[in-house]
Amino acid sequence: MKTLYFQRYYFIGIGGIGMSALARYMQAMGLSVAGYDRNPTELTTQLEREGIAVIYEERLENIPREFYVKEKTLIVYTPAIPKNHLQWNFFKDWGYTIKKRSELLGMITENTYSVAIAGTHGKTTTTSMLGHILHSAGKKSTSFLGGISENYQSNLILAGQEISVVEADEFDRSFLRLSPDKICITSMDVDHLDIYQKGENLAETYREFVRGLKVGGTLLIHKGLPIESAQTYAVEENADYYANALRREENCWFFDFHGLDLFWEKLPVPLAGRYNLENTTAALAIAAQLDITKQQAYQALRSFKGIKRRFSIHHHSTDKIYIDDYAHHPSELDALIKTVREWYPRKKILGVFQPHLFSRTRDFQEDFARSLEKLDALILLDIYPAREQAIEGVNAQTLLELINLKEKECSDLTRVLACVQQKDFEVLLSIGAGNIDTLVRPIKEWLDKTNPC
């Protein structure tokens, strides 16, 4: 494997969900790993517990000395790193070998049978579920996830080198670095207009990604997506692979799975929501193509615990329910709120939403407003900037004014817990892809104390 030419790997932006999975992988290969990130998080703290050095200041003297040997060190970076970053410029000026995260992922997977799962929504759940199915069945596989698996408490499922399952990221066209044997595309909703400018550019990039499929490879898409010559999957409608007959038996939910020359009856539903049944159908279709049996699939679905921050229920008492979710696009908000309504009809839902990126908020502000109106009450947090600078006229208050709700207000992360504690609600949702996850523990502790299960 080409990557093993280097003995040391330094990640600039190591706390990112994709970067940290690669860091864990390289460490598991017995190589030296360290990296920089701007702030400590739960994920960087876990990396440190696992023996990976994480630096939180750009100063060059903080970099471990062994990584100054440039012939033995590969620098891996995320596009979110600013161009004036001190460490980035040092490594560049001194001629280190530097790769994007996506390039390293491509290098790791090029000598394996590679399955790439892409889509603006659904790819994390589908990747995690497929990775769990393969691991449970004893397949020699490694899965790189875009979220933290509840089963493994990690974004890396490491169990062998024959099959690689990767979450293929469309941001910055990163997935074009991959050359998979199988591709699955879950969705192609317009997003990342800061990169693509318009939806057709995004769609064309997906088509370019498909053209990178290895000769003889398999393409699977959600039925209805504008890509030709593909196998399709769907829920409750005809497709090459489809799920139907959703029913409740013995106090559990089950469905039937149909595929090319196969029929698996009465499989357990692993996660709530129609959108998750679609993700399950995609994962099963690929698993069946990789010679997974019905019994293996059944056992894996029954034991699948989901992904952190994907419809994660943290409190469930008679009076209060608390769910945390990563949704940060209007389509994801719609799917989340619809599922909560289905599960908890006639209950009052309070949402705490943190918009992610100024550009995304600007580009979809009308869609965000229509989605958030489906709540009963809303606390809107400041926009989480991530990699961006502020955009004039784009802020939480401007978005709030577009939302037709009687119970709505703006807050910030420091005041929102006190605000929530004064509200009347039956279901509480914390929603967003920024640092809103820091609210989960204090909200859970408050609810557990005041409304014991």
295 lies in the same domain as 329: no
In a domain, residue 296? The reply is yes
pLDDT-derived band of residue 120, with 50, 70 and 90 as boundaries?
confident
Boundary of a domain, candidates 252, 283, 303: 303
Q: According to the model, what pLDDT value does residue 192 have? A: 58
Query: Residue 18: which CATH number?
Result: 3.40.50.720
pLDDT tens figures, 247-284: 988 888 999 999 999 999 999 999 988 999 999 999 99
Domain, as residue range, for 336: 312-450
Q: What is the mean pLDDT of residues 33-62?
A: 94
Domain tally, the chain? 3
More confident: 125 or 174? 125
Q: What is the mean pLDDT of residues 50-60?
A: 96
Boundary of a domain, candidates 72, 100, 128: 100
Boundary of a domain, candidates 77, 100, 123: 100
151 lies in the same domain as 241: yes
**CA-closest candidate to residue 330, choices 357, 364, 354, 356:** 364
**32-36: strand order across its sheet:** 53-55, 32-36, 8-12, 73-77, 97-100
Q: According to the model, what pLDDT value does residue 1 have? A: 46
256 lies in the same domain as 366: no
In a domain, residue 264? The reply is yes
Q: According to the model, what pLDDT value does residue 269 have? A: 94
Q: According to the model, what pLDDT value does residue 73 have? A: 97
Please determine, for residue 446, whether its predicted confidence score (pLDDT) is greater than 70. yes
pLDDT tens figures, 199-239: 678 888 899 999 999 999 999 999 999 999 999 999 999 99
More confident: 50 or 174? 50
pLDDT-derived band of residue 90, with 50, 70 and 90 as boundaries?
very high
In a domain, residue 52? The reply is yes
On average, the pLDDT of the chain sits at: 93
In a domain, residue 105? The reply is no
Q: What is the mean pLDDT of residues 141-156?
A: 96
In a domain, residue 184? The reply is yes
285 lies in the same domain as 178: yes
222 lies in the same domain as 179: yes
Please determine, for residue 193, whether its predicted confidence score (pLDDT) is greater than 60. no
Residue 259 one-letter amino acid: G
Write down the residue that tokens 């994007």 correspond to: 100
198 lies in the same domain as 255: yes
pLDDT tens figures, 285-321: 999 999 999 999 999 999 999 999 888 999 999 999 9
318 lies in the same domain as 208: no
Please determine, for residue 333, whether its predicted confidence score (pLDDT) is greater than 60. yes
92 lies in the same domain as 175: no
pLDDT tens figures, 358-392: 999 999 999 999 999 999 999 999 999 987 889 99
Q: What is the C-alpha to C-alpha distance for residues 80 and 278, in angstroms, rounded to an integer?
A: 31
Please determine, for residue 194, whether its predicted confidence score (pLDDT) is greater than 80. no
- φ/ψ (deg, to 5) at 199: -60, -35
Of 87-96, 184-193, 210-219, 416-425, least confident by mean pLDDT is 184-193
Query: Residue 365: which CATH number?
Result: 3.90.190.20
260 lies in the same domain as 405: no
Please determine, for residue 171, whether its predicted confidence score (pLDDT) is greater than 80. no
Please determine, for residue 430, whether its predicted confidence score (pLDDT) is greater than 50. yes
Q: According to the model, what pLDDT value does residue 177 have? A: 87
Q: According to the model, what pLDDT value does residue 199 have? A: 60
pLDDT-derived band of residue 175, with 50, 70 and 90 as boundaries?
confident
In a domain, residue 106? The reply is no
In a domain, residue 107? The reply is no
Query: Residue 141: which CATH number?
Result: 3.40.1190.10
